[in-house]
Amino acid sequence: MKRSLFTVCVLAAMALAPAAHSQPVEQTFTVPTTSAVAELCADTSSSNLLMTTAAQNFCHGYMLGTYEVLAQINAARGKPAFCIPKPAPTRNQAIAEFVSWVKENPSQGERPPTDGVYEFLTQRFPCPAGQ
């Protein structure tokens, strides 16, 4: 996938960020890897309700923003790499599937998060033959 300057800058900034923790803390929101994003999206058990809420809000915002950028790139390609069905899964369903996919595919966990989301979309929502 050809990377835009924005994606390269975001990935470079994430590479310099500290690793995620199992309990949400402020540093968790740097999401340097696909696994870090999945941890934020999955973690609803923290005793700190404020941080859990922040983690879920960050997760949804990050995933929606990443999806929107990847969908624009996908549409501009001519031959799409992923095709979202109609009706599309809800945001909560798609995020839950992403978290499960990361757990089932641990080799994807160390990828930059945008690359991990892209790989998830291409595997979970492949386009029909001939499209």
Give 65-91 pLDDT, tens digit per residue. Answer: 999 999 999 999 888 999 999 999 999
131 belongs to a structural domain: no
pLDDT at 58 over 60: yes
20 close to 28: Cβ distance less than 8 angstroms: yes
Q: How many independent structural domains does the chain possess?
A: 1
pLDDT at 86: 94
Structure tokens at 94: 């798609």
pLDDT at 25: 60
| pLDDT digits 0-9 by tens, 105-127 | 999 999 999 999 999 999 999 99
- Provide the mean pLDDT of the chain: 81
List of E strands, 21-122 = none
Q: What is the DSSP string of 19-36?
A: PP-SS--GGGGG--SHHH
| 120 burial type by CB count under 10 A (0-12 exposed, 13-18 middle, 19+ buried) | buried
More confident residue, 49 or 43: 49
Whats the size of the chain, residue-wise?
131
| pLDDT digits 0-9 by tens, 96-105 | 999 999 999 9
130 belongs to a structural domain: no
pLDDT at 78: 84
- Using only C-alpha atoms, what is the Rg of the chain? 15
pLDDT at 61 over 80: yes
pLDDT at 14: 43
Nearby residues of 23 by Cβ (< 8 Å), 6 or more positions away? 43, 46, 48, 51
Which domain covers residue 65, as residue numbers? 5-124
96 belongs to a structural domain: yes
129 belongs to a structural domain: no
79 belongs to a structural domain: yes
120 belongs to a structural domain: yes
116 belongs to a structural domain: yes
47 belongs to a structural domain: yes
36 close to 19: Cβ distance less than 8 angstroms: yes
pLDDT at 102: 97
